[in-house]
């Protein structure tokens, strides 16, 4: 089956300098979309976006900037059809030891950032009466994790936010869905291995009974392209009757769909 609904359409991707964001940007470009690829100034400087995408600085904590970005993109390229929110951060550590400032930082980016971006996307799409939004959350939103309480909580809140937005926008012809990746071979993942004592890929695949963590039944990490493929399906015409879905792309690690 060939996915359709991309050629000539305006798409905005947040977190476009990261591993998953890069893969989503490439997939959209390959499908013929016009792609505005956004991230922080530092991230874009360190990891330039794919050739053919239009790079734009965006800090997702700034709601006014998100609104302005959408208005600017539509002025230049027509109505926003596809909004993909990938930007996020992870922090590692026990909740009892976590400074309040770190908790707030994680929620400012992962949860309030999701609110700012998806609200900007949804407001524009509601005016046009069509569109598709996909937010990349995490399988940690659906299962407790030791030393990942702030991240898991922020992603759980973001997931429900997008599902509620999907309910609000359904009558406007706008679909909102979530992708929940598990361990994916990105710099964010390898950085967590360093924070976790260097246990590495083998420990992720096998699981850790002492940490109440299952392994990955498929016995492999996801690639950014695996996640991008799921994003593309939910954006496509072929998913035209799918909204408020929370699709886990984790090799079976959380034992749920």
Catalytic residues: 151
Of 226, 103, 119, 58, nearest in space to 248 by CA: 226
SS3 category, 1 = coil
Q: How far is CA 180 from CA 7, 98, 117, 159, 183, in A?
A: 26, 25, 18, 9, 10
Block residue for tokens 């996307």? 121
Task: Note whether 209 and 221 are within 8 A (CB).
Answer: no
| List of residues 6+ apart from 65 with CB closer than 8 A | 58, 59
- Angle at which helices 63-77 and 113-128 cross, to 10°: 30
The DSSP line for 66-120 is HHHHHHHHHHHH-SEEEEEE-------S-GGG--HHHHHHHHIIIIIHHHHHHHH
Block residue for tokens 């359409």? 9
| List of residues 6+ apart from 21 with CB closer than 8 A | 13, 14, 15, 37, 39, 86, 87
Q: Report the distance separating Cα 130 and Cα 188, nearest Å.
A: 33
The DSSP line for 108-129 is IIIIIHHHHHHHHHHHHHHHHT
């Amino acid at each position: 089956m060939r996915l359709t609904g991309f050629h000539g359409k305006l798409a905005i991707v947040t977190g476009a300098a990261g591993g998953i964001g890069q893969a989503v940007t490439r997939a959209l470009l390959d499908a013929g979309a016009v792609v505005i690829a956004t991230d922080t100034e530092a991230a874009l400087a360190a990891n330039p976006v794919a050739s053919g995408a239009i790079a734009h600085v965006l800090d997702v904590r700034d709601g006014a900037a998100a609104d302005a970005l959408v208005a600017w993109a539509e002025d230049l390229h027509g109505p926003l059809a596809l909004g993909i929110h990938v930007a996020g951060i992870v922090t590692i550590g026990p909740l009892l030891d976590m400074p309040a400032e770190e908790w707030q930082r994680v929620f400012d980016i992962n949860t309030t950032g999701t609110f700012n971006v998806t609200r900007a996307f949804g407001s524009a799409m509601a005016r046009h009466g069509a569109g598709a939004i996909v937010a990349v959350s995490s399988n940690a939103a659906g299962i407790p994790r030791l030393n990942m309480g702030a991240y898991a909580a922020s992603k759980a809140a973001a997931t429900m936010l997008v599902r509620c937005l999907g309910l609000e926008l359904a009558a406007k012809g706008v679909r909102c869905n979530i992708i929940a990746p598990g361990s994916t071979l990105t710099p964010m993942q390898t950085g967590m291995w360093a924070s976790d004592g260097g246990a590495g890929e083998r420990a992720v695949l096998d699981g850790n009974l002492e940490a109440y963590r299952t392994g990955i039944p498929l016995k492999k990490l996801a690639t950014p392209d695996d996640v991008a493929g799921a994003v593309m399906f939910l954006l496509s015409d072929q998913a035209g009757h799918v909204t408020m879905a929370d699709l886990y792309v984790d090799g079976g690690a959380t034992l749920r769909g």
